[in-house]
A = this chain, B = another copy of it.
Amino acid sequence: MAFLSYGPVARFRAEENAVKDTPDDPLAALRTLLGDAHVLTGGDVEKFARDWTGKWRADPLAVVRPANTAEVSQVVKLAAAFDLSIVPVGGNTGLVGGTSNTGALMISLERMTTIRDIRPAAGLAVVEGGAILSDIHAAVEAQDMFFPLTFGARGSARVGGFLSTNAGGSNVVRYGPTRGLVLGIEVVLADGRILDLMSELRKDNSGYDLRDLFIGGEGTLGIITAAVLRLVPKPRHHAAALVAVRDLPASLRLLRALQSATDGAVEAFEYMPRSYMTALATHRPDLRQPFAVHDHCVMIDLGGLSRPLGDVMEAVLEAGVESGDVLDAMVAQNEAQRRLIWDMREAAAEITFTRLPIVDNDVALPLDAVAQFIDDMHAGLATLDPGADTLIVAHLGDGNVHLTVYPTDDGQLDAIREMIEGVTVSLGGSISAEHGIGLSKLTTMTRRKDPVALDVMRAIKTALDPDNRMNPGKVIPERTGGAGTPPT
């Protein structure tokens, strides 16, 4: 997937701005550039080598840790001189094999963690590419502001990683997808040049929208080394609840009623049906569930500025009880109970990857097609592998369903995957809502993405990275298809 071949040293020496008097060995050159302590090899790369899910491995030439954007640029130029591939790595909590490689130079921004500026009056924060999401949360909340992007891995996910992945999370229902939460970025391109898109503006209409190519580019077009993040006022009042509902349509009615009653203050609306709550009871008995497992359950969090929302929550839930949509409910009475409800939802990742083999899906559907998707998927599964288990948890407010299938054996893996893809696409859905493509969805991209769209992506990739040096082999399948079938 990556290419390790030593380019002619003459080419490197001629390179503009390159380090002088460099040895013929890339590792020696990197050590000269960054210092020995920041060129990791052997056992030192282990924490970058194995991804979080255990499905993907990296066997890089080295992991380097530049101190600033200028050093990232120099590393990229040096990699070009030695004809090395480059794979940027953040917190290594991605789910699609996005950092898997053999022989590439991995670039970690873990030394570039500075939160450079927080300006509440302008509603923005300026951060370096290695800053950790939860550190950003803490810093801006100390100034009574809020950066809405959040997900389970926030304690390790870094700016460059979660933006390159276009990570989504639980607050999209209120604050919109990730691209709308980013005002500007700085990128080191494949030729080492630094692209300055550090806009501090909500509206900026000066030429093509380059920013949103790199967000979600999974490191295949450049390395995001800094960003300007959009902040919103920190909600002052929260109201969280765990609610058993009659069925999925009842959930959507409840969502609409809450949106209407709170002027859109629904911060999270997460679907956790029987399969999820049962697995939660097994794997996390410490998270004590307030009522028996029902077929359909949602967790809700409201966030308001102007008024406490507990009364509104209770009034809407009471109306739901009367209409028969709500079967049982627990409204958090304090922050500890609210945290418990969130912990139940955020245990999803650890619960999901407990068994093998699995077919994990991260699909998005139009809101009015989610119930049909689940029905059709179960029908398909009953034919292919009636003994298979499923686990569903969904950002229901966004139509984003995380569906995991545990087949009875390895034989049906691809048939199940293809069936789920087919159901998704037939309902107008997407084969990736927020996890991205990486290596794991390349076959799916070949099968399901508009071929013209794939061609346009290839044209852009070639235009920006003609030597295919940046995270090669990810996101865009080979024209022949078939590459990158996941090992599982």
Question: Which of A's residues lie within 8 Å of B, judged by CB?
Answer: 119, 121-124, 165-166, 168, 172, 176-177, 179-180, 189, 193-197, 199-210, 212-213, 215-217, 221, 232-233, 252, 256, 259-265, 304-307, 312, 362, 364-369, 395, 398-400, 428-437, 441, 445, 448-450, 452-457, 459-460, 462-464, 475-476
Given contacts A368-B122, A460-B208, whether A453 and B197 have CB atoms under 8 Å apart is yes
10 contacts between A and B (CB under 8 A): A121-B368, A177-B203, A197-B453, A200-B366, A205-B434, A206-B437, A206-B441, A206-B448, A233-B259, A263-B265
Having A207-B445, A207-B449, A260-B306, one finds 5 other A-B pairs with CB under 8 Å, namely A203-B430, A204-B433, A205-B434, A208-B217, A210-B460
Please tell me if the beta carbons of B450 and A204 are within 8 angstroms of each other in the complex: no
Contacts of A259 in B (CB 8 A): 233, 305
Closest beta carbon of chain B to A56's beta carbon, Å: 18
A96 (CB) vs chain B CBs: closest residue: B205
Q: Which residues of B contact A431 (CB under 8 A)?
A: 206
Question: Which B residues touch A193, using CB under 8 A?
Answer: 452, 455
How far is it, in angstroms, between the C-alpha of A411 and the C-alpha of B165 when the chains are bound?
51
* Closest-CB distance, A367 to chain B (whole angstroms): 5
- Closest chain B residue to A454, Cβ basis: B207
User: How close is A184's CB to chain B, nearest CB, in angstroms?
Assistant: 9
Q: How many protomers of this protein does the assembly include?
A: 2
Which of chain B's residues have a CB closer than 8 A to the CB of A121? 252, 367-368
Residues of B within 8 A of A435 (CB): 205
On whether the beta carbons of A205 and B366 are closer than 8 Å, the reply is no
**A209 CB contact (under 8 Å) in B179, B256, B450:** B179
Determine whether the beta carbon of B463 is less than 8 Å from that of A194.
no
Beta-carbon contact of A205 and B260 below 8 Å: no
Task: Give complex CA distance A462, B460 in Å.
Answer: 10
Q: Which residues does chain B contribute within 8 Å of A456, judged by CB atoms?
A: 189, 195, 210, 464
Instruction: Pick the contact of A260: B221, B305, B436, B450 (CB < 8 A).
Output: B305
Contact check: which of B119, B209, B263, B434 meets A203 at CB < 8 Å?
B434
| CA of A206 to CA of B96, assembled, Å | 12
Let me know if A430 and B201 touch, CB within 8 A.
yes
Also in contact, A398 and B364, with CB within 8 A (given A260-B305, A263-B263, A464-B456): no
CA of A433 to CA of B221 in the docked complex: distance in angstroms? 26
CA distance A485 to B19 in the complex (A): 41
Of B264, B304, B436, the residue contacting A205 (CB under 8 A) is B436
Contact partners of A122 in chain B: CB under 8 A: 366-369
Specify which chain B residues have a CB less than 8 angstroms from the CB of A264 in the assembled complex: 232-233, 263-264, 305
Contacts of A215 in B (CB 8 A): 209
Contact A208 B197 (CB under 8 A): no
Q: A263–B303 Cα gap in the complex (Å)?
A: 9
Once the chains bind, are B216 and A213 in contact (CB under 8 Å)? no
> In the bound complex, how far is the Cα of B429 from the Cα of A193, in angstroms?
23
A195-B453, A463-B459 are known contacts. Are A233 and B207 too (CB-CB below 8 A)? no
Nearest chain-B residue to A232 (Cβ)?
Answer: B264
Closest B residue by C-beta to A237: B263
Which residues of B are found within 8 Å of A429, using beta-carbon distances?
201
- Scoring A252, A262, A463 by chain B CB atoms within 10 A of each residue's CB, the highest score goes to A463
Q: Is the CB of B172 within 8 A of A208?
A: no
Answer whether A201 and B452 are a contact pair too, CB < 8 Å, given A207-B457, A209-B212, A460-B208: no
A475 engages B208 (CB within 8 Å): yes
Question: Contacts A122-B368, A124-B366, A216-B208; is A202 near B180 (CB within 8 Å)?
Answer: no
B residues less than 8 Å from A365 (CB atoms): 201
**Complex Cα distance A199/B424, Å?**
12
A196–B256 alpha-carbon span in the complex (Å):
30
Complex Cα spacing A274 to B183, Å? 31
Contact of A450 among B195, B213, B306 (CB under 8 A): B195
Given contacts A196-B450, A306-B262, A464-B456, contact A433 B205 (CB under 8 A): yes
Contact in complex: A452, B399 (CB < 8 Å):
no
- Of the candidates A166, A205, A432, A460, the one having the most CB atoms from chain B within 10 angstroms of its own CB is A205
- For A210, A256, A455, the residue with the greatest tally of chain B CB atoms inside 10 Å of its CB is A210
Which residue from chain B places its CB closest to the CB of A201 in the assembled complex? B364
Q: How far is the CA of A441 from the CA of B260 in the complex (A)?
A: 43
Q: Which of A201, A252, A462 has the most CB of B within 10 A?
A: A201
How far apart sit A463 and B208, CA to CA, in the bound complex (Å)? Answer: 14
Please measure, in the bound complex, the distance between the C-alpha atom of A155 and the C-alpha atom of B368, giving whole angstroms. Answer: 31
